[in-house]
Amino acid sequence: MELHVRYEGDDDPEKCSARRLAKFDDAELHRSTRSTPPGIVLNPFADRALSPADREGTGSRRDRLVALDCSWETAEREAFDLEGVHRSLPFLVAGNPVNYGTAFQLNTVEAFAGALCILGEREQAEEILDRFSWGHTFLELNEEPLGRYADCLDSTEVLAVQDDYLADEGEA
C-alpha cells in the first residue's frame, strides 16, 4: 500500500517517525492538505473504525493510507480535513519510547503499522517498523488484538473486539 503523510512539522524532528519513513522512501510527506492525495485517512476522531472491509472495492483510494503527522497537543478534529474515507484505529497500545504502554497514543509509524496489519498487509507493517529499534515492541504489545481485528468482517465486529479489550483494561 502507498503511505502518505500530511506533515505538520510541529514535533521533534529527531523523534518524528514520519520523517524517518520518508527518509527510507517508505512514505511520502505532503506539506499541504491540497497536495495530499485521497485515501483511507487514519483519523482518531472518525466515527467508524478501520476494518478489513475498508480494503474492498476498487480505485487507488483503497490502496493508499493517509496519516496526519502532528503533535498530540495540536491533533484536533479540524486538522483532519483530508480527502478520503476517514477511519479510526481501534484499541492499540504504543510501543514507542515516548508513549510506551499508552493506549490510543500511537505515533505515525505505529498508526500505519496497525492499519496495515488490520488490512492484511502484515509484511509491510513489519518492514516499516524495522526502521525503528523499538518497532518489534509495538507488534509484540498488540499481537493478539491486531490478529483479532484482521479477522473481523467490518467495523461493527472491530468495535466488538475493541470493547473486549476496553472492558479488560477497566478491570485492571
Q: Is the pLDDT of residue 58 over 60?
A: no
**Residue 60 three-state SS:** helix
Cell 510541529 found at:
10
Tell me the residue range of the domain where 54 lies.
Answer: 2-170
Please report, in range form, the residues annotated as the binding site for S-adenosyl-L-methionine. 17, 68, 89, 108
pLDDT digits (tens, 9 = 90+) for 74-115: 566 445 688 999 999 999 999 999 999 999 999 999 999 999
First to last CA, the chain: 37
In this predicted model, what pLDDT tens digit does every residue of 7-54 receive, in sequence order? 987 666 777 899 999 999 999 999 998 999 999 999 988 999 999 999
Judged on CB neighbours under 10 Å (0-12, 13-18, 19+), 140 is exposed
Q: How far apart are CA 147 and CA 137, in angstroms?
A: 15
Tally: H helices and E strands in the chain = 6, 5
Binding site feature residues: 17, 68, 89, 108
Q: What pLDDT is stored for residue 79 in this prediction?
A: 57
Q: Is the pTM of this model over 0.95?
A: no
> What's the number of domains the chain is made of?
1
Radius of gyration of the chain measured on its C-alpha atoms: 15
